[in-house]
């Protein structure tokens, strides 16, 4: 029953946080309209679509890990009971933030829109600041040496090739 609640909470947070940041706001910025019909952009647009699909899959996987393995949600109001170090979290500590920024970059590529690319850079900067100022100290307080070992072994932003095992 606890996993069901965590799954529902994670789904709500998925729609609220990444849904707004990587869906609604890019739509407000661009209207999801392609800015250039030039055939020169087609390979970049195809890569953008691939990046969007991969980013959505990463987000779904990362949110599922919080509910299944962490017995909680990514939302600060309903945190996990266990440190999540499975799945993609074995390779990178912040797959959700990476996926959100990649999703916005994918939209910038698909819609050929520099404003979305600038927005992606801003979201990346805000994400790094939030992780450093809030998440890392909070996880250290909550999980102590377990988090410290994880943090020293798994990079925050660029995935390691081989997954880490505690």
- Give the tens place of pLDDT for each residue, 79-138: 889 999 999 999 999 999 999 999 999 999 999 999 999 999 999 999 999 999 999 999
Place of tokens 């939302």: 75
The whole-number pLDDT of residue 155 equals 97
* Residue 1 binned pLDDT confidence (cut-offs 50, 70, 90): low
Model confidence over 37-63: pLDDT tens digits? 888 899 999 999 999 999 999 999 998
Tell me the CA distances in angstroms from 142 to 87, 146, 166, one per residue in order: 21, 9, 17
* Residue 25 binned pLDDT confidence (cut-offs 50, 70, 90): very high
Q: Which residues of 93-115 are buried (b: 16+ CB within 10 A; e: fewer)?
A: bbbbbbbbbbbbbbbbbbbbbee
> Residues 20-37: what's their mean pLDDT?
93
66, 74 Cβ separation under 8 angstroms: yes
**Residue ranges per structural domain of the chain:** 2-153
- Joined tokens for residue 98: 């990476």
* Statement: residue 9 has pLDDT above 80: no
Give the torsion sign (CA, 97, 102, 103, 107): positive
| Residue 125: CA count within 13 A, CB half-sphere | 6
> With helix as H, strand as E and coil as C, how does 6-48 read?
HHHHHHHHHHHHHHHHHHHHHHHHHCCCCCCCCHHHHHHHHHH
The whole-number pLDDT of residue 92 equals 97
* Residue 144 binned pLDDT confidence (cut-offs 50, 70, 90): very high
């Amino acid at each position: 029953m606890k996993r069901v609640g965590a799954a529902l909470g994670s789904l709500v947070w998925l729609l609220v946080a990444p849904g707004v940041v990587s869906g609604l706001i890019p739509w407000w910025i661009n209207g999801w309209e392609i800015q250039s019909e030039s055939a020169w952009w087609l390979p970049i647009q195809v890569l953008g679509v691939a990046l969007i699909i991969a980013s959505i899959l990463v987000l779904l996987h990362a949110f599922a890990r919080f509910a299944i393995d962490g017995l909680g949600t990514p939302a600060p109001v309903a945190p996990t009971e266990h440190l999540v170090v499975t799945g993609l979290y074995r390779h990178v500590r912040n797959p959700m933030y990476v996926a959100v920024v990649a999703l916005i970059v994918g939209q910038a590529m698909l819609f050929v829109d520099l404003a979305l690319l600038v927005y992606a850079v801003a979201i990346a900067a805000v994400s790094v600041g939030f992780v450093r100022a809030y998440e890392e100290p909070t996880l250290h307080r909550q999980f102590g040496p377990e988090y410290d070992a994880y943090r020293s072994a798994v990079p925050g932003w660029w995935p390691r090739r081989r997954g880490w095992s505690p």
